[in-house]
Amino acid sequence: MLGGEKRSVKGLLTQDQLIPGLGNSIAQDMLFKARLHPRHPIGALTGAQRRRLYNAIVRTVRQVIAQGGRYDEFDLYGIPGGYVRRMDAKATGKPCPECGAIIVKEPYLGGACYFCPTCRAA
């Protein structure tokens, strides 16, 4: 499925509902943990990068579920979740948790992407 794929890793995560219910904000965190730039073309991922991406997807989904969802969403009883996103609008202009470089925001695929320009390869 990934061979010759021209879409970016962010496109893979957020378009066509490959993972139903996965939103842009959680996808940003997965790409941050995988240390991948959102525009990275899927077809150009190395074996190691694919493993990092897969592990980041599984790890993030487990974290979000274990913490009862996102902190800015509420369950049926009005209780907010405990998962705090690392790469969202609030991260813009702040230091990267990994390397300290300033997080930047770029418009992309009809939304925005947030990323560290230093520790993530394009």
Q: In angstroms, what is the minimal distance from the CB of 42 to Zn ion?
A: 22
Applying CB under 5 A, the residues found at the interface with Zn ion are 96, 98-99, 101, 116, 118-119
For residue 55, the minimal CB distance to Zn ion (Å) is: 18
Tally of CB atoms within 10 A around 61 = 15
Q: Cα(26)–Cα(7) distance, rounded to whole angstroms?
A: 18
In the bound state with Zn ion, the residue whose beta carbon lies nearer, of 15 and 118, is 118
**CA separation (Å) from 18 to 8, 29, 41, 63, 110?**
13, 17, 16, 19, 18
Instruction: Report the nearest approach of Zn ion to the CB of residue 101 (Å).
Output: 5
Q: Cβ closer to Zn ion: 70 or 120? A: 120
